[in-house]
Amino acid sequence: MAKTQWEDSPSDLLRARAGFDLASIDPHGKPGFDGGKSDGRAALKAESDRLSELQEQLWAESRSGGTRSVLLVLQAMDTAGKGGIVRNVVGAMDPLGVKVTAFKAPTPAERRHDFLWRIRRELPEPGIVGIFDRSHYEDVLIHRVRGLSSPDVIEERYGLIREFEEEVAASGTTIIKVMLHISADEQKARLAERLDRPDKHWKFSLGDLDERVLWPAYQEAYQLAIEHTSTPDAPWFVVPGDRKWYARLTVQQLLIEALGGLDLQWPAADFDVAEAKERLALS
């Protein structure tokens, strides 16, 4: 990426800290990036090799006994662009080292366990960049908005989530949590586009409109979830999403910063290179 186009690191600018206020964040903004759409798209392309190389180094480390991994949690209102992030940002990495899990409404079997059970099963193995398309946060978001769980239970879950994520981080997983933040107007336009295109109808359901009506309640649920669970070990980043190119570029940068922070190296040979060359020549 043309580094000069970032005035400040997005991980600094967008991190949810004490006093976090979702309502004050402009979904149409592009904090820290000094450029327009074409700059942003060019930067995304330019940096995808860097992201891919870092991911390969993480994978290589795991082949040599390393146990570290990365987990990107994506949460957002419908149409906010989770799918586009997976396709355009995550898609630049080698599929061998990536695991995407889309969490739907829990099955009856999953409901028989605690809410973190199915999440634990999908945590990334060493060397893997795991992506959660929705996550355990649904249990404090839709559950709060729809009253699927009592306020006491929701409150308790914030603490359980903090403990869980602390444990995951301690086991060697770098956690990044992203809320893609769009405006209600932008959602309206995107839903309208889905309805206009028969090849997009499968992405739509009438339930999306029921959720849309609850917009303010969801914003409040996000505010509470983020302020209760943005920790040094598992920070939340609120990424303005009305401009798709900005959101993609930013999440790419968050991944690059997270992987870059691991100080990854190509593993040194655990064999005698000269001897191996000799044996190969004779074979």
Residues engaged in binding a second copy (CB under 8 A): 60, 63-64, 83, 86-87, 90-91, 93-96, 98-100, 102, 131, 133, 188, 191-192, 195, 198-199, 201-206, 209, 212-213, 266-271, 273, 276-277, 279-280, 283
Quick one: 31 or 83, whose CB is closer to a second copy? 83
Q: C-beta of 232: minimal distance to a second copy in Å?
A: 29
Report the nearest approach of a second copy to the CB of residue 195 (Å). Answer: 5
Judged by beta carbon, residue 64 or residue 171, the one nearer a second copy is: 64
Least separation in angstroms between residue 100's CB and a second copy is 5
Bridge partners of 99? 130
Comparing CB distances to a second copy, the nearer of 170 and 206 is 206
CB of 50 to a second copy, least distance (A): 14
Is the CB of 76 or the CB of 154 nearer to a second copy? 76
Q: Is residue 38 within 8 Å of residue 254, measured between CB atoms?
A: no
Residue/partner pairs of 34-38 with CB below 8 Å, 24 or more apart: 34/4, 34/5, 34/6, 34/7, 35/2, 35/5, 37/243, 37/245
Q: How far is the CB of 107 from a second copy (least distance, A)?
A: 12
Q: Which is nearer to a second copy, 89 or 249 (CB)?
A: 89
